[in-house]
């Protein structure tokens, strides 16, 4: 073991406990390069030593309670700093508002330094140690996270680990002929190997950024660019890349970030003749990162971004003995939820819930209705075939529905990466606009507005019913509508995702206490749902849950049970009233309305829901 006599006892204890596995994994991936491993180990101590005492105290506190993030009391929110409050100092000044929202988990969308006009929304990082200058400084980020911690708020930040910006110092050196820097990426002199890769590697953005490689005419080289030409894929086969990127990750953690979101993690290992997705070595790298955080900063969690079908997502939890990510996104459920809104048929969503109910309760998912990204229609089409649903026409139906082209649809959204050749596209829009609130307000139709508001609130109730951590997308708590002003911005107009990335409307947020307004109706309803969730044991992560038959393909039924408590939750995805027979139920209380229920059935209004807590 390579450890200095000067290493502090606390670090030595953590390090010694995990040394053997870390060494074994590192040597397996990097061909027994003990010199590089020794360098890594010494760097871990340096990051531990430079960690502030307040953060070390947080580490010790959470080491005693490693399951702290699995409670029913966590409510998340994701936001863009500039859209929410202009800069980091502005966010710090809005902490009271965040607390009013019930938020105690705050995800800052990418804020590290990126080149103007070539940032992919912040996912093309040119310096992992600096904040975008218009947002503030690293010192201001530390000040913000410290203030969040004082107010019981954990902070999450994206760690873009698959690639760097072409403006990163490593990339600039590589472009200028530095062969060591070129080894940090995938550089080629001709198209022989890139063409071989292209035979098996899918394209992420076939319309807007076709291919997986980019020719650099200024240095006559070809570089791998899985996402966009200005995002150069890092070569994790080079141990120097792993060591330095671990350093970047720990540097972020030492700024007070509690949750590191591993962006595009399935892509980080490349091998010729494969899809370069989800390869076994990816899991070795993530496992090493988990071990490293447990040594240096054990209060820090890893959140994996795996935008794939469930069979590809779940392995990123690792095993009980060798865990990888602490948390993962529940991506498939978001798409299935909006499919259900359009079809008014809950059977696919019910299947999704049944699949989730079979997973170990230790698996913590982040659940959300909308996020910063588009909605991709990667549904289970093999299963949907039995209902006469085919992939291409169904995707067209969904996109027509949510862009308001389908008859009687009040949804308002826009397409992203539309590919007419394949009949494929993704969807953009805020929750409120996709639910029909925007159209109802434009038409001044009170009946339509009532149904749209009920749909929005019902969807939030459904999200809060699921096990895991519910995450609001900033603006959804006040029913913020699509922002079409991006069309007039030359830098943003080509990317329809800015439709739902608009400036937070603080003027409308002033209505959040007035339930007679759209903003107040949604805000107060979500707040009440959060309170019910926090106060009732049936929402614990350890609770059993399963779907129940409702007698209607438009009503989703979920049963949650914990010890002697039982909740029946019903969600009407139809724009017509639905009756649900309560088989064997004697009496109970609706947690949301506080109404006593003693009948053999309940009536759900259009887009209505019920949280029925049964009497013991």
Q: Is the pLDDT assigned to residue 322 strictly greater than 90?
A: yes
**Sheet with 187-188, side-by-side order of all strands:** 187-188, 221-224, 213-216
CA–CA distance, 46 with 50 (Å, rounded to integer): 6
Check 167, 305, 414, 530 and give the catalytic one: 305
Nearest to 256 by CA among 134, 152, 149: 149
Residue 418 pLDDT class (50, 70, 90 cuts): confident
Determine the pLDDT at residue 308. Answer: 79
Residue 300 pLDDT class (50, 70, 90 cuts): very high
- Whether 88 contacts 144, CB under 8 Å: yes
Half-sphere exposure (Cβ direction) of 128: Cα atoms closer than 13 Å: 21
Determine the pLDDT at residue 86. Answer: 98
As a whole number of Å, the CA-based R_g of the chain is 25
In degrees, rounded to 5, the angle at the alpha carbon of residue 600 between the alpha carbons of residues 594 and 605 is 55
pLDDT cut 90: percent of the chain above it = 90
Determine the pLDDT at residue 12. Answer: 97
Other beta carbons less than 10 A from residue 21's beta carbon: 14
The domains of the chain, with CATH numbers, are: 538-614 (2.60.40.1180)
Other beta carbons less than 10 A from residue 99's beta carbon: 13
Determine the pLDDT at residue 368. Answer: 96
What is the token pair recorded at 337?
A: 């939820």
Nearest to 613 by CA among 554, 560, 545: 560
Provide CB contacts within 8 A for 53, sequence distance 6+.
none
- Does the annotation mark 96 as catalytic? no
End-to-end CA distance of the chain: 57
CA–CA distance, 50 with 66 (Å, rounded to integer): 23
For residue range 196-239, what is the model confidence (pLDDT) as tens digits? 999 999 999 888 889 999 999 999 999 999 999 999 999 999 99
What average pLDDT does the segment 423-433 reach? 92
Handedness of CA 99, 111, 478, 430 (dihedral sign): negative
Q: Is the pLDDT assigned to residue 422 strictly greater than 90?
A: no
CA–CA distance, 472 with 372 (Å, rounded to integer): 11
- Whether 142 contacts 153, CB under 8 Å: no
What is the token pair recorded at 569?
A: 């939750």
The rounded mean pLDDT for the chain is 95
For residue range 366-409, what is the model confidence (pLDDT) as tens digits? 999 999 999 999 899 999 999 999 999 999 999 999 999 999 89
What average pLDDT does the segment 79-97 reach? 98
In degrees, rounded to 5, the angle at the alpha carbon of residue 158 between the alpha carbons of residues 156 and 163 is 165
CA–CA distance, 513 with 509 (Å, rounded to integer): 9
Residue 1 pLDDT class (50, 70, 90 cuts): very low
For residue range 457-477, what is the model confidence (pLDDT) as tens digits? 999 999 999 999 999 999 999
CA–CA distance, 111 with 125 (Å, rounded to integer): 9
Handedness of CA 379, 522, 573, 503 (dihedral sign): negative
Write the CA distances from 545 to 76, 359, 361, 567, 569, integer angstroms. Answer: 22, 11, 10, 9, 11
Phi then psi dihedrals of residue 144, to 5 deg: -65, -45
CA–CA distance, 570 with 545 (Å, rounded to integer): 13
CA–CA distance, 124 with 116 (Å, rounded to integer): 10
Give per-residue burial for 26-52: e unless 16+ CB within 10 Å, then b.
beebbeeeeebbeebbebbbebbeebe
Q: Per DSSP, which regions of 284-422 are E strands?
A: 301-304, 327-329, 364-367, 414-419
Determine the pLDDT at residue 350. Answer: 96
Burial class of residue 548 (count of CB atoms within 10 Å of its CB; 0-12, 13-18, 19+): middle
Q: Is the pLDDT assigned to residue 4 strictly greater than 60?
A: no
Q: Is the pLDDT assigned to residue 600 strictly greater than 60?
A: yes
- Does the annotation mark 305 as catalytic? yes
CA 316 to chain centre: 14
Strands 231-233 and 163-165: antiparallel
CA–CA distance, 585 with 602 (Å, rounded to integer): 11
Nearest to 546 by CA among 565, 569, 564: 569
Nearest to 270 by CA among 223, 312, 309: 223
Determine the pLDDT at residue 419. Answer: 76
Q: Is the pLDDT assigned to residue 528 strictly greater than 70?
A: yes
Residue 311 pLDDT class (50, 70, 90 cuts): confident
- Whether 568 contacts 612, CB under 8 Å: yes
Q: Is the pLDDT assigned to residue 344 strictly greater than 90?
A: yes
Q: Is the pLDDT assigned to residue 320 strictly greater than 90?
A: no
pTM for the predicted model, two decimal places: 0.94
Secondary structure class of 374 (helix, strand, coil): coil
SS (H, E, C) 162-202: CEEECCCHHHHHHHCCCHHHHCCCCEECCCHHHHHHHCCCC
CA–CA distance, 27 with 269 (Å, rounded to integer): 16
Check 166, 263, 294, 575 and give the catalytic one: 263
């Amino acid at each position: 073991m390579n450890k200095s006599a000067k290493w502090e006892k606390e670090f030595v204890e953590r390090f010694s406990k995990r040394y053997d596995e870390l060494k074994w994994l590192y040597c397996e991936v990097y061909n027994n390069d003990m010199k590089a491993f020794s360098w890594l180990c010494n760097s871990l101590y340096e990051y531990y030593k430079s960690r502030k005492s307040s953060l070390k105290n947080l580490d010790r506190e959470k080491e005693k309670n490693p399951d702290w993030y699995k409670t029913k009391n966590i409510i998340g929110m994701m936001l863009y700093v500039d859209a929410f409050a202009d800069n980091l100092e502005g966010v710090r000044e809005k902490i009271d508002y965040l607390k009013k929202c019930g938020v105690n988990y705050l995800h800052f969308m990418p804020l590290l330094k990126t080149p103007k006009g070539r940032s992919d929304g912040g996912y093309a990082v040119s310096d992992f140690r600096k904040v975008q200058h218009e947002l503030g400084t690293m010192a201001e980020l530390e000040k913000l996270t410290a203030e969040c911690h004082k107010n019981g708020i954990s902070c999450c930040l994206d760690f873009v680990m698959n690639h760097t910006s072409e403006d990163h110092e490593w990339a600039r050196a590589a472009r200028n002929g530095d062969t060591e820097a070129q080894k940090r990426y995938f550089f080629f002199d001709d198209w022989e190997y890139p063409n071989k890769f292209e035979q098996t590697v899918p394209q992420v953005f076939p319309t807007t950024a076709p291919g997986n490689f980019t020719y650099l005419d200024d240095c006559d080289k070809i570089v791998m660019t899985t996402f966009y030409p200005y995002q150069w894929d890092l070569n994790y086969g080079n141990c120097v890349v792993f060591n330095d990127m671990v350093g970047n990750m720990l540097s972020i953690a030492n700024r007070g970030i509690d949750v590191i979101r591993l962006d595009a993690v399935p892509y980080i290992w490349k091998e010729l003749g494969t899809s370069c997705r989800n390869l076994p070595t990816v899991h070795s790298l993530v496992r090493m990162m988990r071990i490293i955080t447990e040594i240096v900063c054990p209060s820090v969690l890893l959140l994996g971004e795996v935008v794939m079908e469930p069979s590809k997502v779940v392995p990123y939890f690792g095993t009980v003995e060798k865990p990888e990510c602490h948390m993962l996104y529940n991506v498939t459920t978001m798409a299935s939820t909006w499919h259900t809104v359009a079809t008014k048929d809950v059977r696919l969503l019910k299947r999704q819930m049944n699949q989730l109910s079979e997973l170990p309760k230790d698996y913590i998912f982040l659940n959300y209705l909308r996020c910063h990204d588009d909605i991709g229609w990667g549904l289970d089409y093999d299963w949907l075939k039995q209902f006469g649903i085919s992939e291409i026409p169904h995707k067209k139906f969904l996109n027509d529905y949510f862009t308001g082209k389908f008859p009687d649809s009040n949804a308002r959204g826009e397409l992203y990466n539309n590919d007419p050749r394949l009949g494929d596209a993704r969807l953009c829009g805020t929750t409120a606009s996709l639910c029909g609130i925007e159209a109802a307000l434009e038409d001044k139709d009170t009946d339509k507005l009532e149904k749209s508001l009920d749909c929005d609130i019902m969807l939030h109730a459904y999200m809060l019913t699921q096990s895991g951590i519910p995450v609001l997308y900033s603006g959804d708590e006040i029913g913020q509508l699509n922002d079409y002003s991006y069309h007039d911005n030359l830098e943003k107009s080509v990317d329809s995702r800015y439709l739902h990335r608009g400036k937070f409307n603080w003027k409308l947020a002033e209505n959040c206490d007035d339930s007679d307004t759209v903003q107040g109706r949604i805000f107060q309803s979500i707040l009440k749902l959060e309170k019910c969730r926090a106060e009732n044991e049936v929402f614990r992560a350890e609770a059993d849950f399963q779907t129940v038959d409702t007698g209607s393909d438009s009503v989703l039924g979920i049963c949650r049970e914990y010890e002697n408590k039982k909740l029946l939750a019903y969600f009407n995805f139809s724009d017509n009233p639905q009756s649900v027979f309560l088989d064997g139920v004697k009496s109970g209380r609706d947690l949301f309305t506080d109404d006593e229920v003693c009948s053999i059935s309940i009536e759900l209004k259009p887009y209505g829901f019920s949280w029925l807590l049964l009497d013991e």
